[in-house]
Amino acid sequence: MKIGIVGYPTYGGSGVVATELGLGLANAGHQVHFITYRRPARLLHFHENVFYHEVTNEDYPLFEYPPYETALASKLVEVVKFEKLDILHVHYAIPHAAAAYMAKKILLTEGKYIPVITTLHGTDITLVGNNKAFSPVVAFSINKSDGVTAVSENLRQQTYDYFTINREIEVIYNFIDLDRFRRINKDHFKKAIAPNGERILIHVSNFRKVKRSEDVIKVFKLVSERIPSKLLLIGDGPERSNLEALCREFHLCDEIRFLGKQDAIEEILSVSDLFLMPSASESFGLAALEAMACEVPVISTNVGGLPELNIHGKTGFLDDVGDVEGMAAHAIEILSSDEVLEQFRSAAFAQAKRFDIRVIVPQYEAYYEKVLEQSLHRREEA
């Protein structure tokens, strides 16, 4: 099958999932064409079944902002026609689903029908899409897609709650490549961070307000008062300066390391003992899954799709948003005993295996086949 994949080429969750899915499909023998404005961050190596098509915008004095949606739609038409794609899979509703619909209508005038699948990832529905300025286009694009998936049951329900949707949304969870994300021996690295055997807590995010990264430091303060600990903060973003100020206020700068954006995140997770995710909103929690695959239990909030991933009392604990004391108490419960920590590690890894890419990719393949079959009956209606 020849598959076109459209997504944001960034380190964010939707971009990572789109790229990793494409690579998984390529490994399964499909021909995959990535179509976006920059080479995806995780598209690092040559693969005989992987192709990249760059969307370029021309500067023109009339436009204050270059019309990316139009440029993307034109590129989609070109790639579908000349690469003879069988299906388009767009990730994140805005603007990709709308651009794909435009491309589909253009191609219809030339006698070519291209089925479009839209995958909803979270903020495209809960934040951006729920904006009154965008919601009509989001709802229209979802309803006009040939297939729609969401990355959690919670996100599917939110989509139905926020918009008037007249079609079925399939849940296909996010996934992890267990060949890459696994616990590996990095004792020398661990000793460099925690020379006296301190516990290592970790947080990975883009440091936006919705991630509530300040709560991470507040939880760590309470934990470190009871258990000798270190905290690793991975990522960067608008809240970093506030986090650094809070470290100084709490006199914890010697115990906290800001490591910035990292590519080999699995190596850092491998030396960690506990993952903190106090987010106000998470459609799934891909960073938590990556931690669990490296046998790191998770303390998270009980919002969005997190309860579908993090099993309370088994793979970690779930607490209310802002409940710093509850998160700290649960963290201490896990970290106080090597035996308890190992039990949580084992359960976290067992749960992660349910989301192995080799389990999830076949679900997408089956969904593609289903949509292709159904699209044969829709061509006259388009």
20-34, 53-67, 154-168, 237-251: segment of lowest average pLDDT: 53-67
Q: With bands split at pLDDT 50, 70 and 90, how would you rate the model's confidence at 57?
A: confident
Q: Would strands 170-171 and 87-91 be described as parallel, antiparallel, or unpaired?
A: unpaired
Ramachandran region, residue 316 (left: φ > 0; alpha: ψ -120 to 50; beta: rest): left
- From the CA atom positions of the chain, what is the Rg in Å? 22
Looking at residue 284, its pLDDT comes to 93
CATH superfamily for 2-175+357-375 is Glycogen Phosphorylase B; (3.40.50.2000)
SS3 category, 381: coil
DSSP 33-93: EEEESS--TT--S--TTEEEEE------TT-SS--HHHHHHHHHHHHHHHHT-SEEEEESS
Q: Where are the beta strands (DSSP E) in 141-254?
A: 147-150, 170-171, 199-204, 229-234
Give the whole-number percent of the chain exceeding pLDDT 70.
Answer: 94
Res 313 pLDDT > 90? yes
Domain ranges in the chain with CATH number 3.40.50.2000: 2-175+357-375, 187-353
> What average pLDDT score do residues 294-318 get?
97
Q: What is the pLDDT of residues 122-149, one digit of tens each?
A: 877 766 556 677 788 889 999 999 999 9
Report how far residue 15's alpha carbon sits from residue 234's, in angstroms, rounded to the nearest whole number: 18
Q: What is the pLDDT of residues 345-374, one digit of tens each?
A: 999 999 999 999 999 999 999 999 999 998
> What average pLDDT score do residues 197-204 get?
96
- Burial (CB count <10 Å: 0-12, 13-18, 19+), residue 223: buried
Q: For the domain 187-353, what is the CATH code?
A: 3.40.50.2000
The answer to whether the beta carbons of residues 199 and 230 sit under 8 Å apart is: yes
Q: Would strands 31-36 and 147-150 be described as parallel, antiparallel, or unpaired?
A: unpaired
Report how far residue 8's alpha carbon sits from residue 39's, in angstroms, rounded to the nearest whole number: 9
Res 65 pLDDT > 80? no
Report how far residue 126's alpha carbon sits from residue 287's, in angstroms, rounded to the nearest whole number: 19
Report how far residue 356's alpha carbon sits from residue 174's, in angstroms, rounded to the nearest whole number: 9
Q: What tokens appear for 35 in the block? A: 């179509």
Res 305 pLDDT > 90? yes
* Amino acid letter for position 145: S
The answer to whether the beta carbons of residues 6 and 88 sit under 8 Å apart is: yes
